[in-house]
Amino acid sequence: AQSVTQPDIHITVSEGASLELRCNYSYGATPYLFWYVQSPGQGLQLLLKYFSGDTLVQGIKGFEAEFKRSQSSFNLRKPSVHWSDAAEYFCAVGINQGGKLIFGQGTELSVKP
């Protein structure tokens, strides 16, 4: 069955420090992969997506993610975190290359001054 695992429920980093949020997926075919961010009480904002091609994907707000097929991973990174990055981050896999998404449990990011 398809699934997405985000091993870290909560991460705290200092402002200016680098960030890596982990995501592992289970999917039989070539995955469509997404990272979304959600602020409290708000909807979802797409950070980046991977469909094919270059395995290092650049997104908005300085985020990037790398698709590693051998590790079934799609980790999100940012070289220098800003206080405004504090939010909930969701990794998702698209099913059958369509619009149906399976989400991970989410990682809550806190940023220390």
Partner 1 sequence: GAVVSQHPSWVICKSGTSVKIECRSLDFQATTMFWYRQFPKQSLMLMATSNEGSKATYEQGVEKDKFLINHASLTLSTLTVTSAHPEDSSFYICSAQGPSGNTIYFGEGSWLTVV
For residues 88 and 85, give the distance between their C-alpha atoms in angstroms, rounded to a whole number: 9
Closer residue to partner 1 in complex, CB, 100/112: 100
94 sits in the region (left: phi over 0; alpha: psi -120 to 50; else beta) called beta
Closer residue to partner 1 in complex, CB, 9/70: 9
For residues 88 and 39, give the distance between their C-alpha atoms in angstroms, rounded to a whole number: 6
Applying CB under 8 A, what is the total number of residues that bind partner 1?
Answer: 21
- Which 11-50 residues touch partner 1, going by CB under 8 A? 32, 34, 36, 41-44, 46, 49
Tokens found for residue 74: 């799609």
Which residues 6+ apart lie within 8 Å of 84 measured at CB? none
The contact pattern for partner 1, residues 94-113, with x = CB under 8 A and - = no contact, is x---xxxxxxxxx-------
Residues lying near partner 1 in the complex (CB under 8 A) are found at: 32, 34, 36, 41-44, 46, 49, 51, 90, 94, 98-106
